Amino acid sequence: MATGNAETMTEYSPSQLARLFDAILVNDVVDAQVDLPPSVTLDHPAGHLADGFAISAQLWREGFDRTALLDFIDRLGKGKPPAAEEQLWFKHVRAKFKHLRFAFVLYGADHICPRIFKSMTTSMGLLQDGFRNDRPGAIRRQSAVLRLILTRPMQVSLRREIDRVALDSAVGFRSFTLAQIGELRRTLAKPALNGHGFHAARKIVSRQVSFHDDMRTIHPTDEHVAMSRYLSAINGMMGQYHDELVSRDGRGEIDYGQDTFALPESIRIRLETLVSRYP
């Protein structure tokens, strides 16, 4: 059952937004010293969940500069490789998009990201892979997609997707979380994965990191901090492995979409420990 929509969102202070973004920037850092709590809280007030979507949307809204992004895409289109500082800037912009995409799936009543916002975040990821791995064709394709989505009519529709999202109840969020953990358990039961299966598992981990980042910022507890850091370690390890697989795919050594591979043991052990804390 939905609990409301984004049109009544709370506003957060610059310091809260800064703390959230600081957490996001380290959500792929491996910290071997962090352990999990003996069990994970699944029941969260609906108001806390609405707060999670609100701060995610505000972080995106105040950190998204349409003109700057168009300028960046135009420079890429002219064949100019992005400088290190430009790549970092784009990474930070994309991080805010990704965080809001996770928020749609976490807190929305239907637990999906709306079509236009999803298309934009997907294209940004493919564009980043393109210039990181020197793929001019991918850069041209994704630049064209992003130019279309960045037109003013499309941006009006995108913002409408944010403003009109229906938020889930506490019961719905609990069910969704348990379903996600069930997906991870089924993944761990497989001896090998293809690229799609690996990516799906990584997205579950990334969404859970973002949830605990939201909560540690606006409703902090020791559990949220510990979960955020533990999940960040898994997220970072999976991100590094993803980059390795994409690089090998680009060199023609593997077919990322078709070939299967075993999860690295270091990732598997951490995921097994994680799911053991849930009922």
Q: Tell me what the mean pLDDT of segment 61-87 comes to.
A: 92
The pLDDT, as a whole number, for residue 246 is: 80
What is the SS3 string spanning 63-87?
A: HCCHHHHHHHHHHHHCCCCCCHHHH
pLDDT digits (tens, 9 = 90+) for 119-178: 999 999 999 989 988 889 999 999 999 999 999 999 999 999 999 999 999 999 999 999
Q: What is the pLDDT of residues 6-52, one digit of tens each?
A: 555 679 999 999 999 999 988 666 666 678 888 999 999 999 999 99
Asked if 36 and 273 touch (Cβ cutoff 8 Å), the reply is yes
Strands, E assignment, the chain: 2-5, 166-168
| Residues paired with residue 39 on neighbouring β-strands, in sequence order | none
pTM above 0.85, yes or no: yes
Whole-angstrom Cα distance, residue 79 to residue 227? 42
DSSP calls for 186-202: HHHTSS-B-HHHHHHHH
Q: What average pLDDT does range 255-278 have in this prediction?
A: 93
Percent of the chain with pLDDT over 90: 76
Cα 222 to chain centroid distance, Å, stands at: 22
Least confident of 95-99, 133-137, 230-234, 272-276: 133-137
How many residues in total does the chain contain?
Answer: 279
CA distance 107 to 112: 9
- The values of phi and psi at residue 167, to 5°, are -95, 150
